[in-house]
Copies of this chain bind each other. A is one copy, B any other.
Amino acid sequence: MESKNALSKLSALAQENRLAVFRLLVRAGHDGLPAGEIAAALDVPPNTLSAQLNILSNANLIEGKRQGRSIIYTANYDAISGLIVFLMEDCCQGREEVCSPVMAAAQSACC
């Protein structure tokens, strides 16, 4: 990932509501959630949310697909792991201090 790409992902996530949206969608899994439900869950007006979904979507962190009247948003797992890898490789080159806590967390969290 080039750093420009990483920058757009970082700034998309660097906002309370958008980070919350992303976390919600990650938890929602591959089925995703319609925009309206996200707005309700976060208690944000639908047009405000729409702007934020757009920013996350432009950063490629989420994707929206129309399904009937709703638009279902899903998290893009590749994108977030790409960002994490960018941070790791950018920081980790020979830097065991950064890398090994991440490895440890990965092992206990999932792998």
Contacts and interface: CB of A to CB of B under 8 A. Distances in A.
A26 B110 contact: no
Given A99-B106, A99-B111, A100-B111, A87 B80 contact: yes
Interface residues of A, number: 45
B88 A102 contact: yes
Interface of A: 3, 6-7, 10-11, 13-16, 19, 23, 26-27, 75, 77-78, 80-85, 87-103, 105-107, 109-111
13 contacts: A3-B23, A7-B14, A13-B14, A75-B91, A77-B98, A78-B101, A84-B87, A87-B87, A88-B109, A93-B109, A99-B109, A99-B111, A103-B103
